[in-house]
Amino acid sequence: MTQSLIFDMDGTLFQTDKILELSLEDTFDQLRSQNKWNDVTPIDQYREIMGVPLPEVWAALLPNHSKEVREEANAYFLERLIDNIKAGKGALYPHVEEVFRYLKENQCSIYIASNGLTQYLKAIVDYYQLDQWVTETFSIQQIHTLDKADLIKIIMKKYNINKGAVVGDRLSDFRAAKENGLESIGCRFDFAREEELSQADQVIDDLIELQSIGAQMKHNF
């Protein structure tokens, strides 16, 4: 049986922290220039909520601002993220390409399910040419519930997936896996928290470990 692995993007495949602070600083500089912000950039607060859908991010970072201001900030932030990706300022985590190549050679189907927006995900996939391994990339933007479990469900239905695993770094990934009857593999990377990783079925410190896990899954399936 063909294996299926569904990967999160930020903090799992892509080292978001390399462009996060740059892009967020640019966004709050823009707000300061418009006299809509007069404090330091809340980078630490953003790191705390990293992984939630962007509408929730801006509601948290700009709680006293209008929906219009939040949407403008989100749009500008997205522009800066994409510009920084295209400028090569980001990076994949070590061994992403090596692991993807190994998984494809061993008849594993690879998908991406992310809380990131479609344009942002496309910029990463295009820049690093991930579509040579990834069957399809899905954004939370594609569903109205903004619930990652629902996004995983759509992937499973579309590709007739019955068994497999979700690879991610946050609780939303592990819950999405559990609600859909999949294994969960937690990545102890930049944005991960130990109390959330405890909810994963397995935890890895390097993506290269997926080679041995993939082989084990194939044997079990």
- Residue among 180, 181, 186 nearest 205 (CA): 186
Amino acid identity at 104: K
Which CATH number is associated with domain 3-15+91-220? Answer: 3.40.50.1000
Residue 90, both tokens: 């980001």
Residue 43, both tokens: 């980078």
Question: How many Cα atoms within 13 Å fall on the side-chain side of residue 9?
Answer: 27
Q: Are 99 and 210 in contact (CB under 8 A)?
A: yes
Output the tens digit of pLDDT for each of the chain's 221 residues.
458 999 999 999 999 989 998 999 999 999 999 999 999 999 989 888 877 778 889 999 999 999 999 999 999 999 999 999 999 999 999 999 999 999 999 989 999 999 989 999 999 999 999 999 999 999 999 999 989 999 999 999 999 999 999 999 999 999 999 999 999 999 999 989 999 999 999 999 999 999 988 666 665 54
Instruction: Report the alpha-carbon distance of residue 127 to residue 90 in Å, rounded.
Output: 10
Instruction: Report the alpha-carbon distance of residue 35 to residue 200 in Å, rounded.
Output: 44
For the question of whether the overall pTM of this predicted structure is more than 0.75, the answer is yes
Instruction: Report the alpha-carbon distance of residue 184 to residue 6 in Å, rounded.
Output: 10
Helix axes 67-86, 54-61, angle to 10 degrees: 120
DSSP string covering 95-122: THHHHHHHHHHTTEEEEEEESS-HHHHH
